[in-house]
Each structure stands twice: as structure tokens, then as C-alpha cells.
Structure 1
Amino acid sequence: MTSMVTSPPLTRYPATMSHPFFSLHRQRMIRVAAATPAATVGDAAANAAATIALAAQAHEQACDLVVFPELNLSSYAIDDLHLQSAQQTATLAAIESVRAASADLKPLLLVGAAIERNGRLYNTAVIIHRGRVLGVVPKTFLPNYREYYEKRWFAPGAGLTGLSIGLNGAEIPFGTDLLFAADDLPFLTLHAEICEDYWAPTPPSTMGALAGALVCCNLSASNIVVGKARERALLAASQSARAVCAYVYAATGVGESTTDLAWDGQGLIYELGELLAQSDRFVRGDADRLTIADVDAERLIQERTRVGTFNDAAALAGHPETRFRRIGFTHGLDERDTGLRRAIRRFPFIPNDPDKRDADCYEAYNIQVEGLAKRLEASAAKTLVIGVSGGLDSTHALIVAAKAADRLGWERTRILGFTMPGFATGEGTKASAWALMRALGITAEEIDIRPAAHTLLQGIGHPFASGEPVYDVTFENVQAGLRTDYLFRLANQRGALVLGTGDLSELALGWCTYGVGDQMSHYAVNAGVPKTLIQFLIRWCIRTNQYDEATDQVLATILAQEISPELVPADAETGALQSTESMIGPYALNDFFAHYVLRHGLAPSKIAFLAHHAWRDAAAGRWPADFPADARLAYDLPTIRHWLERFCTRFFQTSQFKRSALPNGPKVSAGGAVSPRGDWRAPADGTARVWLDEIAANVP
């Protein structure tokens, strides 16, 4: 049975798109490949020919690095033939063939070969680039248990550092202390280990990563038995996460001897624990034998700067970078637009896989419920006060509150819901607010804020109080502020906590009024949840029957509504409501921007590059089957740039003072949060100039 996830499809652009923005190297990305050549039983010349053919294909697909399987030139399962002089000589000739053929090829090649040195035979990775052998890395750990007998043939590489080896007339660096680093692309730095090395408790790649390697490579033979493919994937995923690196794994495929073993040819590419691409297995014939993905080196570098534990581990290990030799080479900056071989989630806070999405929704929902339950318990509150508008955020906060009350053994009537219609409140949202409160069985009341708002506007001399249709920010904030005033005074009166409703997206953008309910409360239960995730959480609640049928019907109605603050009356001619997204941009894009700023700290031009590839072909499909139709949108690069500039201005310059005064609330997503006590600390009087200048200089 073959695996279901293969290399992401190659996207290409018209030749007219020659701006450096479209170059992978300019975006500090590396195209890597795990190769599965057609193997033979000891025919080194045939193995060399298969290797060269795949290297040429990788060159045509603009790969920077290709990892071949363990002993792919010698063959793995040839037992005592490894100790035959003729076999060893044929292997040296195969290395020379690959070296010569690589002269006009772009990729760095990691090939496997058994090589004799000082009367010892080593299982090695040979690193070749453009006609040069850069180095030879011996395998550290030799398996000698169950079906493995490697110590019968090979000497271990453990402890071999600072050495060289004579190879086809050249003296080549040899040892387990080698890193390979492009002098013209500082982010192209790699380490090689071989098969059993990453089954060991102390994989050599750990030290390689601590010494600076961003891409760790594994040349593996690894016969297949039931369940082993999952084990390899687990090891590759965990090593890429722990070592904060990309991990490229290539295992031997069809063609090796099956005297006692079988081979599946599994190729894996992981980055920070996330699968980028994997091969089909058990492949014969003319099938594609390259598993390709683009590794984001900038993301890896930024992650290492954030994770102090990574630096502490390097210190405790005696700073491995002082013990490794960096073998330099000139790779060449590729300015071409070579497309993107990497799946970019349009909703990075939400997994594409339905099972993972349901698991994340379960966790997010319960984090909120338990966070609120603990706060209610600790405060000994008699009741809970919440403003219910009929919009997404207050709806989600209310259903979380209802579940928290259930778990605490509260009667839901201890939740006091208030709908507070203003000058622009729509009948639909007001009806939804009432329907939801009734369905949940909470205590529901209505306070018309218009008389108090009119009095306040009159008191400050606002033109609206005299009959002029002036709908400025003062007009809006008088209504928003009054609602919060009522909620806090009601809480004083009734021994309650005020539950906040503002979400992470609004807080990132500053789309909230200072001191008002979407920014201020006694507990901000939604502050760690972006708008796009709230929409999926509510859908998950409906699908998993968290509430009754009447509640589900109301939730479905609310999901279908336009997102609007309803602070300004609808257009007199068209009846169109005040639209939030027309003013601050699509939440899909804003959440995308927020994720890469908060979680990864990427430059805005890089975020634009990723967004461009994520969204440009969205209209053509490639959506998970259960994604709702209203989420299937497409955005071109000018649109992305427009809203990214506005996001950067709002996030970095105009909104931090609001986030600095946030009330408590649980962090929900690993994608980031904006709490001043948690993920995000920043000056409230900063400037967005650095980010805006970077966009202007780099985004076409």
C-alpha cells in the first residue's frame, strides 16, 4: 500500500515574473530531495547510472540538495561481497562517475558507498558538488542485532575527527565532524548521518544541528517490516522538532536483494516536526523517484533564536560548532522563479486534515472552557455577565461559558446575558442573540442604550444629537463604551465577573475600543483564538453535538451572517451593513499575517511570498472537502500587499497600547498569542517603518 502524501505540486509563473521576490534563494528557502533510485544487487556501475539520472532530474527541477540511500552505489544487502576487492574497486569507479557527471549539475549530492581506509571498511556518505568530492562521513552506529550484521563488514566511525581520506587521487576531509556550508548562501548548511545513527539515543545529527546545520540528512537502507514506516516517520519528525531543523530521509527501494529482507524506498522530508513531503513506496518502473520539498531556512533560523533551550543545549554540549569542520563550497544564487514545492496552509491556525482539525478544535474549546471554569472557581463569583450581540465572538464566548457552568455544576441561569441594541443594531443579529440565550437557558435581558447614548452625544455637542447623520469614531465609541459601562456596573450589582469577547485577530489589529468589552473585561476567554478558528470551533460544536438542536440551529444562522460591528446604520440606498472586513481586510489574510509574525517572526516580504503561493490559485480548488464555501476565496499579490501594509501599521505601530492592558485569558494556539504576559512583549510607542520599508523594497 502506498502512502497518500507525496511531493507538493510544482507551481510555475510566467517568465515575465522575474522580480527577485519570486526567487526561493532570495526568500532563504532550499529545495531538497530524497531520492529512491532503482537499486541492483551489487552492480556499482548500474547504481552510478541510476544515481546520475536522478541527479540530472533534480537539476532540471531546481533542487539544491539530493539525498540518496545508504550504500546506494555499493548496494546494501550484498553481505560478504562488501569485503571483496573487486567490489570495492567498482565502488570507487562509481564514485568517480558520479563526481564527473555532477560537474554541470546544480544539486549537492549525498551518495552512499563502502570505502576502505587504513585497512578498515567504512559505510559512508560521500558529499559531491559540481565535480568535487567535498567530504566523506562514516557511519557512527553500526547495527549488529536481529537481521543486521554490519560489524562483520564495517568499522564504526565514532570518534573519527580531523582526518582525511585518499579518494581517486584526491585528499578529502573524512570524519564525523563535518558540516557542509555554502559560502554564498549562508542558510544552506547541512549535516549527514547514516541509517542507524538516528535510531540511536544520541543521533549525530543532534550535534550537527547544534553546530549550525539547518538541514540534517539521513542516507538509509532500512529494510521494511510491518509498522517500520511509521517508526521512521516518528523519528524524522521528532528529530526535526528537537533539533530545530529540516530532516531529509532516503531509504533503499526496489531492486536490492530480497534473499532475507525486503525494501520499500521510503523518502521523508520534515521541518520542525511537520511533514513537508513523503514518497510513494514499493515503486517500480518509470515512476517519479524524487520526493521534493522546499525547506524554509529563515523559519528555522528564527525558531532557533526564539528557543533558548536550543542554545542552552549547545552550551551544555561544549559548543559543538567549535569542534566541527565547516567544508565550504560555492553553490550559486538562483534568481529564477522556480515555483514552490511546499504546501502552504491558507488557514495556519487550522489543520487541513479533518481528523487533526477536530482534535485541535477539541483542545482549543476545552482550553477555553477549563480556563474560564478555573477563573470562576477562584473568584467565587455568584454570576457571570456577558454582552450578547448575535455576532461570532460573543456567541462563542457564551457557548464556552455555558459549558463551563455545566462543568462547575452551576445552573445556567447564573449566566446573565444582555443584548444592548444601539443605533445600527440589525433585527437579524438581535433576534439571533435572543434565540441563542433562550436556547442555552441563561438569564436574558435587554437594555436599549440609545437614550443614554443620545444624552451623552448631546452632552459633548456631537452633531448627531442635533439630527445630523454624522457617523464618526466618536459616534461608534459612545455606543461601544456605554455597553461596557453597563456590563461592569451590572457585574458590581450582581456579584459577577464580566466575560470578554474580543478575539486574537481583533487584538492583533487593534480593532477594538480601548477600555471596552472587546478589549477590557474581567476575563478575556477569546483572546487566544483567531477569528478564523472561532468560525471552525462553532462548526465543530455543531458537528459534535456539544449543545442541543435548537442551539445548533441558532449557531448555524450566526455563522452565515456578515461580520459587522453594527455601529453605523446600514446604507440607505443599498441596505448594506457596515462591513468589518472591508475596513480592516479579510480575516483569512490577517490571521495568516498574524501567524507568521507571532509564531515565526518572518520578514513581511517573506509573509507576502508565502501568502501569494497559498492564495493565488485558491479559486481553482485544492481545498479540503469539508471547508465551507464561504472560506474558499482567492487573493492576488496586489491585494495581499495592500492588506499586509495595513496589518503591519496596525500591529506594530498603532495597537500595542491596547494589548499592553489586556486582562487575563488562556493561550490557546501554538500559532501565537498577544498577551503582554505571554508570547508578545513590545513597546507601545513603536513604529512600523522597518516593516513598511521592507515591503516597499522587496514586494513587487
Structure 2
Amino acid sequence: MKNLGLVRAAAVTPVLKVANPEFNTEEIIRCMYEANSNGAGIILFPELCLSAYTCGDLFYQDLLYNKNLEGLRQIAEVTGKIASVVVLGFYLRIDNSLFNCAALIQGGKVRGIVPKMFLPNYKEFYEARWFSPGLTKANHVNSVRLFGYDVPFGHLIFEDESIDLKLGIEVCEDLWVPVPPGSYLALRGAHILLNPSSSDETVAKSEYRKNLVNMESARSICGYVYTSSGVHESTTDIVYSGHKIISENGLNLAESPLFERNSSILYGDIDYDRIKFERTHSRNFESSAAAFSTNIEYSKVALDPVRVLESGSDTLKRTYEKNPFVPSDPATVDKRCNEIFSIQSSGLAKRMEHTRSKKAVVGISGGLDSTLALLVCAETFKLIGKDPGDIIAVTMPGFGTTDKTYNNAQTIMRLLGVDQREISIRDAVLQHFKDIGHDPDQHDITYENSQARERTQILMDIANKEGGLVIGTGDLSEVALGWSTYNGDHMSMYGVNTSVPKTLVRFVIKWVMDYRLSGPSEEKNFSSDNALLKQTLQDIMDTPISPELLPPDAEGKIAQKTEDTVGPYILHDFFMYYTIRFGMQPRKLLYIAKTAFAGEYSEDFIKKWLITFYRRFFSQQFKRSCIPDGPKVGSVSLSPRGDWRMPSDADPAQWLKELEE
């Protein structure tokens, strides 16, 4: 795969001189060459950048108008020497009216002109003094004669059929109206919207502007590139900051500083494949298109192949978080963990009340998942006003249990004040081995799964006896990989962790440590000794992940480490997120993973575990088809009743073949 399904956009704010198109043209061309050399497939300049936005009544001067067109002609010629599409602002006379326009230029020609549909004519803005609204011409003028050839004009969508990429343009104020032209453009197929703007800066306006761009890209499921005039516009009454924003489906890919003194370029790699996936996945997008997109008649303008990023020659400027389930901003992490913990406990509270369950029954191993499940149970019982003594927490030592995990399990149960029980599974499993004729010295899958099923049987029977609900502890990563024993730990009566990935489990526990057990918001009565509980939780997080189904090593330490068998969970969560959330193809996923984990894992190492991921993900669907109920907490869930429906006998051959080719 050479084409990565990404295109690099460059949002430019050039240094300019008011009413000096010759100077402005030279600087625009210089910036074009720079952006082109940095791999940009789309280059966007501000509104009226050839003349400057703040020319006032000089717009009526023929000299300025003609120089503005001459600059456009020169820029068009230069595009024949670069690989990029260029969009910039200029003004155009049609009949007896001037129009504030954006031109899309490619391959030496102006391919199309889009007028500004809505003019600001309030407060500091009075564009209607010079320009006419684009709507007055766009509905009945389809082309204009310029530089000796006919140029499409009005309601336009620009299309590169070779990669099925469509571009749309709206100009400045068009974004600020109740129903922006960009919304219609998106419904008619535009994947990326381009907005050349001249928006003055006032206190807090930049944040509002960013929210507008992000919201438009989210609502229209599109990429959005925005650039505005900078500090070299006239400052007679207002100041411009050169604000530049690149967004994708509500995600802010890049944002520039304000008030830069030199020409500046902001880059963002827009994943147009992701946009197509999201639109296909969201059936209401197509329904909206059918309902509303016929309001305006658009003309399609064919483009030459747009320059896109290729795996063999381009380096991504876009960064992909190694841990996509966990936000990089600490304040956001805290907020999300609070929401997750609340969703888990609220979901369990509803189920406890609905089933009239007297008690909750949960198996405690001293590992991450069962620890989080127990913390959720403790929070739930506070919500519904039940005594923590009605939480039956059972530790079930087996052949692989180590002193460390056993002691940690005992400690957290004691500190949370639950009904603490210990039931060894050794004798029962040995008897089972004898019954089925299995050699206990043969440490195979039968040896391991027998222990998991025995533990589940104990929990289920206690729940029946006590009128309780068995709380599942398995997490989303285990669900994806099928890392559970069918009808063993795979089964419960309500799985509180079922859509929390392994990498996120740690953060939720850490949040409990920082916000429930310590700090200004500490809940003094969360446990009998918050400081000791926090210390024990830290020890649990420092313990290697293991099902502890095989005997410890000679030193009594964990010998069976899950990540030695299935691979690092941070990789699998990365694979899962981009496969399920965005439908990313294998070779693209491998390339992006290689970029994200550069310096940490080699490409061969990543490829090895990506192959493992696909094989396990496909082969283990039969377990996901019958997983218990549990709350969805994030954008990725594998519940067969909700987000993910897949045949259990699907063949992964095509995914594996693409990786091998």
C-alpha cells in the first residue's frame, strides 16, 4: 500500500501589504513552493489575500482590481510546476457587481471559482458596501470567462475520481450562518471543506472560532481546513491574528499560534479514508443527504489526481497516540476516568435493583481486572445504599497463585469491608482431572481451563445460594483477543469491565487512587485505611498481567505472563481501536503503528503481533457472540447486541494476506 488514504493540508497566512497585489503575489508563490516541498496536497490561503481584506473603497479602483487578477494569473501558472492544489481569496467583477471569491487552482489553470455566499454587514463588518452576496449569481451563473477560458463558477464540488476525494469551499462568514454552505457541500459528497477567511481577533473569539470549525467537521463528518488573514492587514480599527485550524470529524489536528509576524504555514494530515468509513458507518448521514442535499444544485469539477501521502516516500506529520483509549491531557484523563467509573457503577446499580439481587459475587485474583470490578462494586453499593458486607468477594487459590497476588487480594477485600471468602480449587480440580483421566503434570489447555471453569462454577453456585449476581471481571482487550476460558471466566451475570480496554483499566484504578483515596476530594470512608489501599493498588498495578493458571517459578514468582503469549496489550489496544473504530486496513495500520511506536518496537515485532491480533480476533468471535451484558463506556465496544455483529466463522485470510504481500 503506497496510498495511505491521507492528504496533507497546508493552511497559510502570508505576510502581505494592503493594496499591493504584486508584493502579495510574490509572497504567496514563495509560500506555495515551501508547502509543496513539505508534501502538501492542498494549500489554502486567506480570503482576499491577493489584495488584502482591508482595502475598503480601494476595491473600486480598477488598478487594484486588475493587479488582483494579474496576481491570480501568475499563481495559476506556478501551479503547473508544483503537485499541490491551491485555494486562495481574490475578488471578481461579474456584470456590474464585485464578488468576494475563492479560486481553486491546479495544474496551471483556475479550475473553479466559489463566491462568498453570505456577507457580514454588522458591527465592524460592512462588506455589502463593496461586494454582492454570492447567492445572487451562484444560482444562475455556471461559469465565467477568465484568462481566455471558461471557468466553472458558483455551487461547485471538486472531485478527484482516481481516489474518490471531493473538496468543497466556503468563505469566512459562510461558516458562521445557521446552516453553512459547507453542510450542503458535505451532504453532496465533499470530504474536505476549505475556508479562506479574514476574521478579526477579539477577546475569546479564537476559542469560539475553533469550536465552530471542530463542530462543523464533526457534524458534517469531514476534514476542515481554515486559515485567516494575519497581523499585516490594516489595523485602523481592528486586528487580525492569522488563526489557522485543521480539523477532522471533530478532532482538532492542528492549530496555529495567534499574531505571528512572519509568513506561517500550519500542516495537518487528513485521513479521508476515515471520513468515508465514518459516513458509511453512520446511516443517518446518507439519510440526511437524501433529505436535504437536493436544495442546491451543485456542479462537479474534475481535478487531476491530488497529491496524497504514500508509505514509501512520505513521513507523517500527524501523530497517533500510542494509547488511543487514554487522552494525552491529564485533566481530560481524570474527567474520562470519572465518567467511566460512574458508567460502570450506574450500570451495575440498575442491574442490581432490577434483578432484586441481595448480593454481588465477584472473584478476586489480586490482578488488575478483578480489582477494578471490586472497586466498582464498592462504589455501586454506596449508590444504592447497601452495606459493603453484601459484596461477596471470593479468592480461589489454585496451582499458579503466588503469595503476592494472594496477599494483595486479601488486603483489598479486608480494607473495603466486604464479605471475604477463600475457597481453594486445588482438590476440586485434581478430582476433576481424575474423573476425566487427565495427568496433572500435563500443563496444557485442559489443565488451565479446568481451573477457570471451576472458579466460575463456585461463583455461580454461591450467587444461587445467596440470591446474588456474579460480576464479570474480563476487560475489552480480553474480549477482542478471546483471552478467556469459554464458559469459564468468559461468563458472568453482568460484566462491568466488558468495554474497558486493558490499557485503560490501569488509569481508572489510578484515578480511584488519586481522587477517591487521596487528595482534596478523598472519600474518608471509602475504605478502612485509604493509604494502605492506595499502596496495595499500586502494587497490583506493578504486578505482571497473568491468569496464574500455571505453577510459579522456582522463586515463587509469576511464571505465566500473558503479554509473553499474546503480545503487549498496548499494541493490541492500538490495533483494536483503529480496526474497529475506523476500519483501518492492515497495511495502513502497520505503517501507522510503526510510526507511533518508532524507537520502541521494530516493524517486524509489530507485524508479528498484528498477525496474532487478526488471527485471534477472527477465531474468537464465537465467545463474543454470547458474552454477558455490560455497559458500553467508550466509542469501541464488542457487544453482539450493540456495536459489533460478526459471524463466528469469518475467514481472516484477506487481512493476513495483505500484511504478507
TM-score normalised to structure 2 length: 0.96
* Residue correspondence of structure 1 range 369-518 to structure 2 within 5 A: 369-464=345-440, 469-517=441-489
Tell me which amino acid in the other structure corresponds to 1:551: L
Q: 2:655 aligns to what?
A: 691
Q: 1:635 aligns to what?
A: 601
Distance (Å, rounded) in 2 between the aligned partners of 1:163 and 1:507? 55
Tell me which amino acid in the other structure corresponds to 1:156: P
1:421–1:321 CA distance, 2 compared to 1 (3 A): farther
Distance (Å, rounded) in 2 between the aligned partners of 1:532 and 1:200? 42
Q: 1:525 aligns to what?
A: 496
1:341 is displaced (CA, Å) by: 1.0
1:342 and 2:313 are equivalent in the alignment:
no
Distance (Å, rounded) in 2 between the aligned partners of 1:387 and 1:574? 22
1:124 and 2:101 are equivalent in the alignment:
yes
Q: Which of the numbers 571, 582, 590 marks the counterpart of 1:589?
A: 571
Count of residues paired in the alignment: 647
What SS is found at the alignment partner of 1:256?
coil
Tell me which amino acid in the other structure corresponds to 1:542: M
Distance (Å, rounded) in 2 between the aligned partners of 1:107 and 1:323? 24
1:577 is displaced (CA, Å) by: 1.6
1:576 is displaced (CA, Å) by: 5.3
1:351 and 2:327 are equivalent in the alignment:
yes
- CA RMSD, Structure 1 to Structure 2 (Å): 1.5
1:74 is displaced (CA, Å) by: 1.6
Q: Which of the numbers 152, 168, 174 marks the counterpart of 2:153?
A: 174
Distance (Å, rounded) in 2 between the aligned partners of 1:357 and 1:323? 43
Cα deviations across residues 557-576 of structure 1 (Å, max 9, x unaligned)? 10000001100012448955
What SS is found at the alignment partner of 2:80?
helix
1:309 and 2:288 are equivalent in the alignment:
no
Q: 1:299 aligns to what?
A: 274
Cα deviations across residues 36-58 of structure 1 (Å, max 9, x unaligned)? 10021111111111110110001
Kept in 1: contact 2:184–2:293 (CA 8 A): no
1:322 is displaced (CA, Å) by: 6.7
Tell me which amino acid in the other structure corresponds to 2:318: R
Q: 2:87 aligns to what?
A: 110
Cα deviations across residues 209-238 of structure 1 (Å, max 9, x unaligned)? 111111101000001011110011001000
Distance (Å, rounded) in 2 between the aligned partners of 1:338 and 1:688? 29
Distance (Å, rounded) in 1 between the aligned partners of 2:512 and 2:480? 25
Tell me which amino acid in the other structure corresponds to 1:511: W
Extract unaligned runs of 5+ from structure 1: 1-20, 618-633
Kept in 1: contact 2:361–2:393 (CA 8 A): yes
1:516 is displaced (CA, Å) by: 1.4
1:563–1:332 CA distance, 2 compared to 1 (3 A): closer
Tell me which amino acid in the other structure corresponds to 1:685: D
Tell me which amino acid in the other structure corresponds to 1:179: I
Tell me which amino acid in the other structure corresponds to 2:142: L
1:185 is displaced (CA, Å) by: 3.0
Distance (Å, rounded) in 2 between the aligned partners of 1:421 and 1:129? 70
Cα deviations across residues 629-653 of structure 1 (Å, max 9, x unaligned)? xxxxx2111111111111111112x
* Residue correspondence of structure 1 range 141-180 to structure 2 within 5 A: 141-158=118-135, 160-161=138-139, 163-175=142-154, 177-180=155-158
Distance (Å, rounded) in 2 between the aligned partners of 1:322 and 1:487? 64
Kept in 1: contact 2:4–2:309 (CA 8 A): no
Distance (Å, rounded) in 2 between the aligned partners of 1:680 and 1:213? 28
Q: Which of the numbers 540, 563, 566 marks the counterpart of 2:511?
A: 540
1:329 is displaced (CA, Å) by: 2.3
Q: 1:651 aligns to what?
A: 617
Tell me which amino acid in the other structure corresponds to 2:285: F
TM-score normalised to structure 1 length: 0.91
Cα deviations across residues 599-631 of structure 1 (Å, max 9, x unaligned)? 1111111111211111114xxxxxxxxxxxxxx
Distance (Å, rounded) in 2 between the aligned partners of 1:679 and 1:203? 31
1:604–1:319 CA distance, 2 compared to 1 (3 A): farther
Cα deviations across residues 363-403 of structure 1 (Å, max 9, x unaligned)? 11110010011111111111111100000000000000000
1:448–1:334 CA distance, 2 compared to 1 (3 A): closer
Kept in 1: contact 2:41–2:307 (CA 8 A): no
Kept in 2: contact 1:659–1:674 (CA 8 A): yes
Distance (Å, rounded) in 2 between the aligned partners of 1:414 and 1:295? 52
Identity %: 40
1:663 and 2:641 are equivalent in the alignment:
no
Distance (Å, rounded) in 2 between the aligned partners of 1:186 and 1:439? 60
1:268 and 2:245 are equivalent in the alignment:
yes
Kept in 2: contact 1:212–1:321 (CA 8 A): no
1:203 and 2:167 are equivalent in the alignment:
no
What SS is found at the alignment partner of 1:418?
strand
Q: 1:550 aligns to what?
A: 532
Tell me which amino acid in the other structure corresponds to 1:196: E
Q: Which of the numbers 226, 232, 250 marks the counterpart of 2:203?
A: 226
Tell me which amino acid in the other structure corresponds to 1:695: L
Distance (Å, rounded) in 1 between the aligned partners of 2:299 and 2:364? 61
Extract unaligned runs of 5+ from structure 2: 518-525
Distance (Å, rounded) in 2 between the aligned partners of 1:420 and 1:110? 67
Tell me which amino acid in the other structure corresponds to 2:472: G
What SS is found at the alignment partner of 2:471?
strand
Kept in 2: contact 1:39–1:252 (CA 8 A): no
Distance (Å, rounded) in 2 between the aligned partners of 1:328 and 1:572? 69
Q: 1:186 aligns to what?
A: 164
What SS is found at the alignment partner of 1:666?
coil
Q: 2:521 aligns to what?
A: none
Kept in 2: contact 1:211–1:321 (CA 8 A): no
What SS is found at the alignment partner of 1:247?
strand
1:319 is displaced (CA, Å) by: 4.7
Q: Which of the numbers 541, 566, 577 marks the counterpart of 2:559?
A: 577
Distance (Å, rounded) in 2 between the aligned partners of 1:660 and 1:124? 55
Q: 1:4 aligns to what?
A: none
Q: 2:265 aligns to what?
A: 290
Distance (Å, rounded) in 2 between the aligned partners of 1:167 and 1:265? 30
1:71 and 2:48 are equivalent in the alignment:
yes
Distance (Å, rounded) in 1 between the aligned partners of 2:173 and 2:512? 45
Distance (Å, rounded) in 2 between the aligned partners of 1:685 and 1:658? 12
Kept in 2: contact 1:314–1:320 (CA 8 A): no
1:115–1:323 CA distance, 2 compared to 1 (3 A): closer
What SS is found at the alignment partner of 1:86?
helix
